[in-house]
Amino acid sequence: MADSTVEIVVATGNPHKLEEVSRVLAGIGWRAVSLRGVMLADGSFASDADEPVEDAATFEGNAQLKARYYAALTGRVCLADDSGLEVDALGGEPGVYSARYAGVDGDRATRDSANNAKLIGAIAGVPAEARAARFVCAMCVAKPDGEIVAEARGTFDGAVITEPRGSNGFGYDPLLELPDGRTSAELSPEEKNAMSHRGQATRMIAEKLGALG
C-alpha cells in the first residue's frame, strides 16, 4: 500500500468527480487534492490557470494531455480524466465533444440542457432498439516530467431515451437508460459509484497505483 502521506492532484473542477475519486484512492493511502488546493509559485492557484486545449481525437488522448499539463504546472503527480457519451447510431457521437456538443456557453446547467436537447433531436428518428450507447471514462496519471504512471478505461452501457428521467447526476445521465430500466440519473450516488464508467476507471487506477506504492 502507498504511504499515507502521498498526495495526488485531481485535475477537475467538478466536486462530484473529486469526491468519487477521493473515496476510492483513500483506500490505498493516496490523498486526492483538487486544483483549488494547489498554490503555484506566483501565489495563484492551479484552478486559476488557463486550461489546456482538449484537441485529441480520443478520450485517452485528452486524459493524457490534461494529466501531463497539470502535473507539469503543479510539479506533482496528477490524475486527469476525459469522459463522455458514445451513441452507436450516431457513429460514436457526441464522443470527445460530449461536454460541448451543442456549442453553447454558460454554466453547467445551461450547457447540459442544450446538449441533451441536441441529442434528443439527433436520436429522435432512430428506433428504440437501435439506440445502444455507453458512457466512457479514460483516466491517466502522469508525473511532472511527463511520464505516464497509469491509465484505465471504464464503460457504462445502456440506451438513449428521448424523455429525460431522474434528478441525480449531471450531463446526459437522465437520457441513458440502463438494462434494469432505470436511467443513470435515477440511481443513488452509491449505486452509480459502484457501477459507473468513472467508478470502474478509478478502481483500476487505484489497483495500479497500489501496486506501485
One digit per residue, the tens of pLDDT, for the chain of length 213 reads: 444 558 899 998 777 788 888 888 888 888 999 999 899 999 999 999 999 999 999 999 999 999 999 999 999 999 999 999 999 999 999 999 999 999 999 988 899 999 999 999 999 999 999 999 999 999 999 999 999 999 999 999 999 999 999 998 889 999 999 999 999 999 998 888 888 898 899 999 999 988 765
Closest C-alpha among 133, 150, 151, 145 to residue 60: 151
User: What CA–CA distance (Å, rounded) separates 53 from 47?
Assistant: 15
What is the CATH architecture assignment of 7-212? Alpha-Beta Complex (3.90)
Quick check: bond before 94 cis, omega within 30? yes
Catalytic residue among 82, 105, 107, 180: 82
Residue 192 φ then ψ, to 5°: -65, -45
End-to-end CA separation in angstroms for the chain: 5
Task: Based on the residue annotation, tell me whether 82 is a catalytic residue of this protein.
Answer: yes
- Sequence ranges of the domains in the chain: 7-212
